Amino acid sequence: MSTRQDRRAWRAGVIAAGRGERLQDGSPRLKPLVPVGGLTLVERVLWSLAEAAPSEVVVIVNEASVAVKDHVSSRQWPFTLRWIVETTPSSMHSFLRVVETLAADGPSDPGDNHGPFLLSTVDTVASPGAFAAFAAASQALDADVTLAVTPPPDDEKPLLVRVADQADWGRRGVRHPSDPNRGSALRVEAIGAGAAGAPWATAGYYAVRASVLREAEEARRDGLMALRAFLTRLLARGYRVDAVPVASGVDVDRPADIRAAEAFLKQVGI
């Protein structure tokens, strides 16, 4: 088990550069500043990251979302905050910019085993302790990317994940945060279209090593856009991708998800 001192080695990132059109539904509110249960989405994910005791968190926002930086910077946080203000073409580009920024202070060769870094999308509403448990489990792995996974949520396009021992784990499931199987690592065999019918989906947060940056230049040149496409490419090219089951949360993409997230927070006692 990782000690608190070990967890202090974590550096983390938040991907908050998207426009969030589905959630806005005509509203002028910026997605990261949408309130859920008394806190904005960006504050919730930052406090979830704080559970893993990072020394630093890098947040990327687009150039139309400087108000997010102002809002967050006016609060006190138990870590150093760094900002990237850049309008990126896609989720993959935002993901890579955050990893590049986190890796910039490490080994000069992105092939070196640098990291992992704990990354999250801004719309993830997680159970108490879920990020810390995931961080502890993934830090002990040698994977290039570790995915936090849950049973597929009620979502239009969940990113499905098939693991090597899918049949066995599909029967057992993850029904409660205290489930003794939650946190065991699973080897990923397929992501997205190749994982149709799989009993797992990504939960919106990841542990990522700098080794994935070997693929960054070519992925941009080839016009890849979605983060799911980049993860699929990593798997196809032989990078090690693991999955760690975590307690279920809510991905807030649509107005109805706000109500679902608030009901979820009440259920888990927040």
How many helices and strands (H and E) does the chain possess? 10, 13
Distance CA 114, CA 125 (A): 28
pLDDT at 23: 59
Q: Residue 59's pLDDT band (boundaries 50, 70, 90)? A: very high
pLDDT at 49: 97
Average pLDDT score over the chain: 86
Query: Rounded to an integer, what is the distance from CA 29 to the centroid of its chain?
Result: 22
pLDDT of 106 over the 90 cut: no
CATH architecture of the domain with residue range 4-267:
Alpha-Beta Complex (3.90)
Length of the chain: 270
pLDDT of 156 over the 60 cut: yes
Measured CA angle at 246 (ends 244, 250), to 5 deg: 130
Structural domain spans, the chain: 4-267
pTM to 2 decimal places: 0.87
pLDDT of 228 over the 70 cut: yes
Structure confidence by residue, pLDDT tens digits, 188-200: 999 998 898 899 9
pLDDT of 3 over the 80 cut: no
pLDDT of 8 over the 60 cut: no
Provide, rounded to the nearest whole percent, the portion of the chain with pLDDT above 70. 83
pLDDT of 37 over the 80 cut: yes
Distance CA 183, CA 136 (A): 9
Distance CA 22, CA 13 (A): 23
Of 112-121, 160-169, 199-208, 258-267, least confident by mean pLDDT is 160-169
Q: Residue 177's pLDDT band (boundaries 50, 70, 90)? A: very low
pLDDT at 193: 87
Beta strands 35-36 and 39-40, pairing class: antiparallel
pLDDT at 21: 58
pLDDT at 174: 37
Q: Indicate the SS3 state at residue 75.
A: coil
- Would you state the torsion angle of the CA atoms of residues 261, 262, 263, 268, taken in this order, to the nearest 10 degrees? 90
Angle between helices 41-50 and 66-73 (to 10 degrees): 50
pLDDT at 112: 52
